[in-house]
Amino acid sequence: MFQLHPCFTRFFGQSSLFSLRRGITCWALGFMGLIAGCAPLYQATMSRYTRTCINAEESGQFDVAIEACRRAWINTQVGRLGKEDESITLYNLGRVLRRGGRLGDAETALKDSLTLEEGLSGPSSVKTGKRLMELSAVLGLLKRTAEGLSFLERFQAIAPKFVGKDRQFAALLFYAYAESLQNSGDSDRATQLEQAASDLGFKKSDFGK
């Protein structure tokens, strides 16, 4: 038998909300109250989908990861969970979209996340840097090197704060863009990016030929 979640039954059980005297104003206020009251439910659902997304990403199941991350982001919208959760879920979605080869969608998600994150943690934070790094990777894969460089050059000042796999991925990006610049005849900027990669502690040979 169909049953409403308690969040909804609390709302629809208040028949006075639908009286002619209160009309549409009470409907709107009641609906906003419903959303606020259900925020913990949406938060828990978002967290569950986020865990599913990350687990699927780690196992290489990118279609599953993309759908789970998309649902996590939807919960931030419906539940009005705030800009921080929205930025996180959009970043996760953009990253798995990039890894799943859906580059256009990845670009959109990451740019939206970047806009939010710059307002939240500032233009030079590690969190903002992660979004700049992912956007640089996406635009490089799309062969839009000039546009990607605008994000990569901003990221260059943040990259030394990175550690582990993120630091390694940053170095790989610098070397990849350096090679593209070298091929186009911009040897000066290519040399600068190679130095940036080297300063992170990685040699070009660390990434194969």
Q: Return the exposure string of 105-136: e unless at least 16 CB atoms fall within 10 Å of the residue's CB, then b.
A: bbbbbbbbbbebbbebeeeeeebbbbbbbbbb
Closest CA to 198 of 161, 172, 166: 172
Q: Which amino acid is at 25?
A: T
Q: What is the pLDDT of residues 165-185, one digit of tens each?
A: 999 999 999 999 999 999 999
Which class is domain 35-154+180-202? mainly alpha
Q: Is the pTM of this model over 0.75?
A: yes
pLDDT of residue 111: 98
Instruction: List the chain domain ranges.
Output: 35-154+180-202
How far is it, in rounded angstroms, from Cα 145 to Cα 184? 10
Q: Compute φ and ψ for 77, nearest 5 degrees.
A: -75, -55
Number of other residues whose CB lies within 10 A of the CB of residue 138:
26
Name residue, tokens 């090197």.
145
Cα–Cα nearest to 151, from 173, 130, 136: 136
Q: Is the pLDDT of residue 17 over 90?
A: no
What's the confidence (pLDDT) of residue 147?
96
pLDDT per position as a tens digit, 84-102 = 999 999 999 999 999 999 9
Let me know how many helices (H) and strands (E) the chain has, helices first.
Answer: 10, 0
Predicted confidence band at 19 (pLDDT cuts at 50, 70, 90)? very low
Tell me the backbone φ, ψ of residue 200, rounded to 5 degrees. Answer: -80, -5
CA gap 190, 183 in Å, rounded: 9
Annotate 95-126 with three-state secondary structure.
Answer: HHHHHCCCHHHHHHHHHHHHHHHHHHHCCCCH
